[in-house]
Amino acid sequence: MPSLLRKLSLAQAEPEEPALRPDVVAGALDAVPSYCDVVDGHVHDVIEQTGEAAYAIIQQLVKVDSLAEVMAGDVAQLAGTLTRTETELSQVSAGNDQLVGRLISYFLHRDHQIRALVDQMRELDQHVKQIEEVSRATNILALNAMIEAVRAGEAGEGFSVVADEVRKLAHRSAEAAHGIGSSIGDLTAKLDAVLSDDSQFDRAQDMPETSEETAMTRRLGGIANAQREMSEMVAGILKDTVKAADQVQRSSDALTSETTGAVGHVQFQDISRQMLEHVAEAVGDVRRQTEDVVAYVSGGLTEEELMARRISVEDLRAKHVMSRQRTTHAAQTGGAEHTDAEPLIELF
């Protein structure tokens, strides 16, 4: 710029040298303002577009965040339901175990009762043998009485003795018959009780545990084991599902944390916006200085005015607000390296 001014002043002092034509200078610079306007427009376009994009990014991150929170809520609810189901399943399984235990005790008790019946029936055999014995003795006595009667003829003393023995045997027979009758009655009553009375089932839980086994209790034990295994398998699946739900919840929390961090990073747009606004302002300064030069060569501005209004790199530095701007400025101008000792967060 100083060389241009020198040439312009020389042109006035030494007319014989090729004159520097102000109209050519003005014409050459004529397009600069429009050029700067277009650049300014582009810069503001970038500001607008990045602003819209950053806003849209935040909106989407907020939406992702909301979805993650909803998902975390759903998963927590599912985990709660699964945990409750696992508890209920465990309770049902324990109840079934208890029921089967009672059934086993009940059947063992019933077996004991039936064995007692069998023992009593064996006692019936003894009564029958007794009757048979009495019957044999009666037959012999009857034969003796017949013989004595023949031999005695009119003398019937012996016959009376025989008759007395027969009477005694008859009495024993009556007693045996009575024994049989009462045993049968007792057995009938007990059988009725065994067949119709299941009240023992309710008392089975109070019965002492036993290591006895029967075909029936073995089968019941098998059923209990099968249902226990199934219950354990389902409980395992439920536990795995609860673990998976916990994992999903942790992932959701991590996702939320990441989206929050990402939302924070979008502050870059505000920083870039301010940097670009400074660039646009600097372009405006160049535009104004170009117009000043055109005004000067056209005679609309004095040399003093032109020099007073000229832009300078130091003025540009004074407009910087960010540490990064000052660092870049120093790097581009070869000035002293900028060091910002101020803390990024300061409470007064």
Partner 1 sequence: MTTVMLVDDSATMLMSLKSILTKAGYAVETAGHGKEALDKLGKGVKPNLIISDVNMPQMDGITFAREARKAPGMRFTPILMLTTESEQTKRAEAKAAGATGWLVKPVGPDQLLGVIKQVLPGA
Task: State yes or no: residue 261 binds partner 1 (CB under 8 A).
Answer: yes
Closest approach, Cβ 46 to partner 1, in A, equals 14
Task: State yes or no: residue 72 binds partner 1 (CB under 8 A).
Answer: no
Instruction: Map tokens 């607000």 to a residue.
Output: 321
Phi/psi region, residue 213 (left: phi>0; alpha: psi -120 to 50; beta: rest), is beta
Closest approach, Cβ 285 to partner 1, in A, equals 18
Task: State yes or no: residue 322 binds partner 1 (CB under 8 A).
Answer: yes
Kindly indicate which of the ranges 8-16, 61-69, 95-103, 185-193 contains the residues binding partner 1, using the contact rule CB under 8 A: 61-69
Interacting residue with partner 1 among 91, 247, 267, 298 (CB under 8 A)? 267
Kindly indicate which of the ranges 21-29, 58-66, 145-153, 222-230 contains the residues binding partner 1, using the contact rule CB under 8 A: 58-66
Which residue in 106, 104, 92, 111 sits closest to 221, CA to CA? 104
Interacting residue with partner 1 among 29, 131, 194, 263 (CB under 8 A)? 263
Interacting residue with partner 1 among 34, 42, 48, 55 (CB under 8 A)? 55
Buried b (16+ CB within 10 A) or exposed e, 74-109: ebeebbeebeeebeebeeebeeeeeebbbbbbbbbb
Task: State yes or no: residue 348 binds partner 1 (CB under 8 A).
Answer: yes
Task: State yes or no: residue 249 binds partner 1 (CB under 8 A).
Answer: no
Closest approach, Cβ 97 to partner 1, in A, equals 48
Residues 6+ apart with CB under 8 A from 284: 36, 40
Residues 6+ apart with CB under 8 A from 59: none
Kindly indicate which of the ranges 53-61, 208-216, 233-241, 291-299 contains the residues binding partner 1, using the contact rule CB under 8 A: 53-61
Longest CA span, the chain: 209
Interacting residue with partner 1 among 273, 310, 317, 329 (CB under 8 A)? 273
Closest approach, Cβ 43 to partner 1, in A, equals 16
Kindly indicate which of the ranges 3-11, 98-106, 173-181, 319-327 contains the residues binding partner 1, using the contact rule CB under 8 A: 319-327
Interacting residue with partner 1 among 15, 208, 264, 334 (CB under 8 A)? 264
Cα of first residue to Cα of last residue in the chain, in angstroms, is 48
Cβ(158)–Cβ(152) below 8 Å:
yes
Which residue in 33, 11, 3, 10 sits closest to 285, CA to CA? 33
Interatomic CA distance for residues 181 and 36, integer angstroms: 132
Closest approach, Cβ 322 to partner 1, in A, equals 5
Task: State yes or no: residue 59 binds partner 1 (CB under 8 A).
Answer: yes
Q: Residues in contact with partner 1, total (CB under 8 A)?
A: 32
Interatomic CA distance for residues 296 and 306, integer angstroms: 7
Cβ(102)–Cβ(243) below 8 Å:
no
- The beta-carbon contacts of 73-78 under 8 Å, at least 24 apart in sequence, are 75/245, 75/248, 75/249, 75/252, 76/245, 76/249, 78/245
Interacting residue with partner 1 among 321, 332, 333, 335 (CB under 8 A)? 321
Closest approach, Cβ 343 to partner 1, in A, equals 8
Interacting residue with partner 1 among 51, 158, 179, 284 (CB under 8 A)? 51
List phi, psi (to 5°) of 327.
-65, -45
Kindly indicate which of the ranges 51-59, 83-91, 113-121, 241-249 contains the residues binding partner 1, using the contact rule CB under 8 A: 51-59
Interatomic CA distance for residues 140 and 165, integer angstroms: 11
Alpha carbon 255 to chain centroid, angstroms: 16
Interacting residue with partner 1 among 61, 103, 162, 280 (CB under 8 A)? 61
Task: State yes or no: residue 274 binds partner 1 (CB under 8 A).
Answer: yes
Chain residues in the site for partner 1 (CB under 8 A): 51, 54-55, 58-59, 61-62, 65, 256, 260-261, 263-271, 273-274, 321-323, 340, 342, 344-348
